[in-house]
């Protein structure tokens, strides 16, 4: 069972897509085990997008991610990391397949609605970056164990 960090980015909140995006993940069978609305401060942006710090568009990322609050979530499920990356689609919505979150709800790479961890080590680091252990819940869903 894997845990993955998902961020609903400021454009997702501003366009009123919070429910739509979470609903897609829930319908897929992923379990929400942590969730909060928060503002991204410079420090956490630098940590989270450190791999892009030397890109010319980095200031755009900072402006984007501080436009309004985000919703941070931890989703759990078998192969949740790959599943979520597939469901979110390519980073550039122009390349993202129809049926994916970015393919359906985003138009440009600047505003691409969602973040999902891209591999296991990153997921562990990212979950810890956004959540304390006591904000992550273990619970059974009513149909757990039922085929």
Binding site for ligand ADP (CB under 6 A): 52, 57, 60-61, 91, 109-110, 112, 115, 118
CB of 143 to ligand ADP, least distance (A): 31
Classify 47 as helix, strand or coil: helix
Residue whose C-alpha is closest to residue 5's, from 39, 30, 23, 41: 30
CB of 3 to ligand ADP, least distance (A): 17
Nearer to ligand ADP by Cβ, of 14 and 146: the residue is: 14
Identify the active-site residue in 48, 102, 115, 116: 115
Residue whose C-alpha is closest to residue 65's, from 37, 41, 93, 34: 41
Nearer to ligand ADP by Cβ, of 77 and 89: the residue is: 89
The yes-or-no answer on residue 48 being catalytic is no
Contacts of 86 (CB under 8 A, 6+ apart): 100
Nearer to ligand ADP by Cβ, of 47 and 60: the residue is: 60
- Spatial distance between the Cα atoms of 43 and 50, rounded to a whole number of angstroms: 10
């Amino acid at each position: 069972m894997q845990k993955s960090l998902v961020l609903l980015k400021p454009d997702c909140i501003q366009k009123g897509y919070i429910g739509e995006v979470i609903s897609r993940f829930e319908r897929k069978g992923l379990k929400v085990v942590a969730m909060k609305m928060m503002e991204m401060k410079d420090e956490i942006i630098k940590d989270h997008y450190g791999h892009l710090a030397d890109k010319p568009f980095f200031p755009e990322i900072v402006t984007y991610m501080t436009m309004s609050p985000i919703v941070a979530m931890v989703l759990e499920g078998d192969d949740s990391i790959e599943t979520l990356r597939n469901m979110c689609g390519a980073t550039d919505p122009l390349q993202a397949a129809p049926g994916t979150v970015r393919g359906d709800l985003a138009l440009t790479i600047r505003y691409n609605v969602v973040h999902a961890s891209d591999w296991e080590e990153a997921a562990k680091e990212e979950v810890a970056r956004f959540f304390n252990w006591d904000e992550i819940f273990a619970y059974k869903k009513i149909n757990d164990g039922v085929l």
